[in-house]
Structure 1
Amino acid sequence: MAIFEGSFTTASTLKVGIVIARFNDLITNKILSGCLDCLKRHGLDTSELSNQVDIVWVPGSFELPIAAKTLMKKKSYDVVIALGAVIRGETSHYDVVISEASKGISQVSNENNVPIIFGVLTTDTMQQALERAGIKNNLGWNYALQAIEMGSLIKNLN
């Protein structure tokens, strides 16, 4: 029986793309910071001159799938991380944005055989988003760990 798992010790060999939404940037900047901290502590070069990590900013979470798709056509990545924050309001806009963003990200990942980590916070309140972006726990760190694991797993399976 063969067992395949991702590795956290080979992270320094990964090429990572990050697509991030500007909308709710109070939250997304904190998530990005946690994400980059984790990648750096696992051996990736996250400096501005890095050729290991690329960051693409988009207006909102709805635009994450097309940016991820375009990014992957331009350059080869082992994994992409999609970061955003969608906070429920008084209209159904929240439901539309999160539904289309999640479907689009999944579709792009499957079409390109590249894992895309779904790092889009979906919360009912700004307080909940802040808690997940660093007050209690920075989920950006978790998204980066998922990226390292999935990036190395798919790289090893190929």
Structure 2
Amino acid sequence: MSSSDKNLSTFSTEGLEDVSSLKFAIVVAEWNTEVTEALFEGAWQTLIKHGVREENIFRGNVPGSYELTLASQWFAEREDIASVIALGAVVKGETLHNEYINHSVAQGLTNVSLKYNKPVIFGVLTPNNMEQALDRAGGKHGNKGDEAAITALKMVSLKQRLNLNQQ
């Protein structure tokens, strides 16, 4: 199902573990600030709603989406960070610039996640225009920031359950 048919802020929270003692990082691209600030607000509110304490959420701003990878790695290097959420918006333009950026960021975040064995969440919008971006940043399709945060919570919950089963 495409996101145009779905509200991104509708998801199951079944199986979430207690995350009140865990720390999360949110890295936010400053390019397309109207969109990325809405994504951040959605992610922040979702983390708080599900038990993450305010003092356990760390924010880092970067100039654009391309820089999300390195900043995410800096946070992932910290042993006390359970998950990193990378938020950005790369709106398609008249060139292929967006495709290069999106591919690089997706691959880079995947590499960081695997390198540090912790969830690094791709919360980057890749819309064709600004209207589509706003629709997915708190508009008619919900908020991708919510989805990114719930993904982080589900992934750390799964890791907690797996670690308990190994003991």
Report the TM-score, using the length of structure 2 for normalisation.
0.84
Find out whether 1:156 has 2:161 as its counterpart: yes
Match of residue 69 from structure 1: 73
Match of residue 86 from structure 1: 90
Match of residue 141 from structure 1: 146
Would you say the 8 A contact 2:66–2:105 is kept in 1? yes
Length, aligned pairs only: 149
Residue identity matched to 2:135: E
Find out whether 1:22 has 2:27 as its counterpart: no
Q: After superposition, give the CA deviation of every residue in 1:70-90 in whole Å (9 maximum; x if it has no partner).
A: 122245211111110010000
Residue identity matched to 2:134: L
User: In structure 2, how many angstroms separate the alpha carbons of the residues matched to 1:61 and 1:32?
Assistant: 14
Residue identity matched to 1:60: G
Residue identity matched to 1:55: R
Would you say the 8 A contact 2:92–2:128 is kept in 1? yes
SS of residue matched to 1:87: coil
- Counting only pairs closer than 5 Å after superposition, residues 2-151 of structure 1 correspond to structure 2 as 7-46=15-54, 50=55, 52-136=56-140, 137-151=142-156
Report the TM-score, using the length of structure 1 for normalisation.
0.89
Alignment RMSD: 1.4
Q: After superposition, give the CA deviation of every residue in 1:128-150 in whole Å (9 maximum; x if it has no partner).
A: 00000011111211111111010
User: In structure 2, how many angstroms separate the alpha carbons of the residues matched to 1:151 and 1:74?
Assistant: 15
User: In structure 1, how many angstroms separate the alpha carbons of the residues matched to 2:161 and 2:59?
Assistant: 24
SS of residue matched to 2:61: strand
Would you say the 8 A contact 1:9–1:42 is kept in 2? no
How many angstroms does 1:9 deviate by? 4.1
SS of residue matched to 1:82: strand
User: In structure 1, how many angstroms separate the alpha carbons of the residues matched to 2:160 and 2:86?
Assistant: 19
Overall identity of the aligned pairs, in %: 39
